[in-house]
A = this chain, B = another copy of it.
Amino acid sequence: MKTEWIAVDWGTSHLRAWAMRGDTVLDQAQSDQGMSRVAKGAFQDALLALVEDWLGDAPVDVVACGMVGARQGWVEAPYTAVPSAPVPGLPIRVPGTDPRIRAFVVPGLKQTSPPDVMRGEETQIAGFLDTHPNWDGVICLPGTHTKWAQISAGEVVSFRTFMTGELFDLLRGHSVLQHSVGEGWDDAAFAEAVEDALSKPEQLAARLFGLRAADLLHAQDAGVARARLSGLLIGAELAASRPYWLGQQIAIIGAEGLSAIYAKALQKQGAFVETADATRSTLAGLTKARNLTRQTA
């Protein structure tokens, strides 16, 4: 079947594309040509290398979200200030593209105080809200830079980013903890660490070194250490984001495994949580953005 348009999720470390007809996926492709690997001026080539087979004679719309809209990206798509609908208007048209495509980039969101930014998550939020009309509450998008967004009347009212995922990767891969944190997992150790961190979040830096000491002194299992590291970091994040989620309806949009971990930690706190698939939310958001481009084509 003929490709009607192309959906693109272009983050820091990955490039994913889907051949679309309406909201139906016809084909998909991905590469490691994330925004951090592509030089300014080389974005179109990186994309065409992936999607060339889907193109024909008539120009095809390409709608992209993510870091590709940063200053160093394909085209700068200036942030929209919150409060705002997550995808409030027409995406930014990329000038001077190959005649076989018309390319658009969805702008990110910004918050002036406290200063914060997002690129990509606004599209997932838009997709989630499109399939959950009149949904009010808080959306958590766990990942390298986990976002918490307060949603009311179809708008992102405020949001906050936590470097939880990046801290986990740095500590596991590059700190002294690399000798003590391995593969494996332990649900009880995770739950206990979340409780520890929620009740005394300021102790984080000390409890982190405690993972090393527990290995040296008590030969703590490397999988237990991994679950504890995750629990300490997520628990500290939940302590800080409590004003966001306490007493609220919560939706988690993310990768399956990570979403399940966040859901478990929040449910232990008595929170009501639903989860939504990240890719499906991204595609629904890009479809919504694409419909905006058609209205004005």
Contact = CB atoms under 8 A, between A and B. Distances in A.
A95 to B, nearest CB: 23
Nearest to A220: B115
Nearest to A202: B201
A99 interface: no
A274 interface: no
Of the candidates A204, A233, A236, the one having the most CB atoms from chain B within 10 angstroms of its own CB is A204
Interface in A136-166: 145, 160-164, 166
A213 interface: yes
B167 A174 contact: no
Give the secondary structure class of A's interface: helix
Contact of A161 (B145, B170, B213, B233): B213
A10 B200 CA distance: 35
Interface string A28-62: 00000000000000000000000000000000000
A133 interface: no
Interface string A192-211: 00000000111111111110
Contact of A164 (B161, B205, B210, B237): B205
A19 interface: no
A146 to B, nearest CB: 8
A205 B112 contact: no
A8 to B, nearest CB: 22
> For the complex formed by this chain, how many copies does it contain in all?
2
Nearest to A116: B213
A6 interface: no
Nearest to A208: B163
Contacts of A296: none
A294 interface: no
Contacts of A207: 114
Contact of A115 (B145, B205, B210): B210
Interface string A162-182: 111011001100111000000
Contact of A210 (B116, B171, B205): B116
B209 A145 contact: yes
A206 B240 CA distance: 8
B205 A114 contact: no
Given A110-B217, A114-B210, A170 B164 contact: no
A110 B216 CA distance: 10
A117 B217 CA distance: 8
A24 B204 CA distance: 42
8 contacts: A114-B207, A114-B213, A115-B216, A116-B209, A145-B176, A167-B175, A202-B202, A206-B241
